[in-house]
Amino acid sequence: MSGTQPSSTRDLIEVILGYGLIVGVIWMPDLPQRIASPIVLIFTLAVVVARWPTRNELGLGRRGLVPSLWILPAAIVIAGVSMLVARRLGTLHPLFNGDLQHITGYILWTLYQQFLLNDYFLPRLIRLIGNENIAVGLTGVLFALAHLPNLALTAATLVWGVVSCALFRRYRNLYALGLAQGLLGLCFAVCVPDALHHHLRVGLGYLRYHGTQ
């Protein structure tokens, strides 16, 4: 079990500060962003582990792992159908930076995003609001808004943010969710025209995209 329950004030400060730092990094130019990103990553990790949660509480243990594994084949089916539809519509295209290193890095990034959603923001919002369903919805909204001004990705992450939080509350395991998000994100990248999602960029990177990068 984790330690003593934090105060509402602490929860609110951590939500505002964490989200503010994340959005701030998203809207930074490339060089400052490269410097600030690991700092924010370490900060969010430190805030979560400061409460001494167990691996099962974090969703990094065995709890719920086997029951949640159906999420992966479901994501594969969704990705497969989406690619067939995209091919039919003529929007299917090769993946930008589709080498193993970039794909692995992206999968690790989606696992970290699930950590942020379900270990950082969702539990604090549940304690602040007192209603799990509303907290799940609000977490999904915050996740989606962080992807602005990429409207296509904002719409997709709104749906996935809510769904993944609801699934985490049921199974309490991050592994299948992180891998599924990685798979669906890569599917989104090759099925949706790059002119709409700009190599999945958000914030300032989306606005500065020129189509040749």
Band (pLDDT 50/70/90 cuts) for residue 1 is: very low
Q: Is the pLDDT of residue 4 over 90?
A: no
Compute the mean pLDDT over every residue in the chain, rounded to the nearest whole number: 94
pTM, to two decimals: 0.92
Q: Is the pLDDT of residue 5 over 80?
A: no
Kindly report the number of other CB atoms within 10 A of residue 61's CB atom: 15
Give phi and psi for 6, each to the nearest 5: -75, 165
Convert the pLDDT of each residue in 27-73 to its tens digit.
Answer: 999 999 999 999 999 999 999 999 999 999 999 999 999 999 999 99
> Minimum mean pLDDT among 23-37, 91-105, 142-156, 178-192: which range?
91-105
Quick check: 15 and 121 in contact, CB under 8 A?
yes
Q: What is the mean pLDDT of residues 132-139?
A: 98
- CA–CA separation, 5 and 63 (whole Å): 22
Take residue 192 and report the two structure tokens written for it.
């949706």
- Of 210, 112, 114, 93, nearest to 157 by C-alpha is 114
pLDDT of residue 187: 98
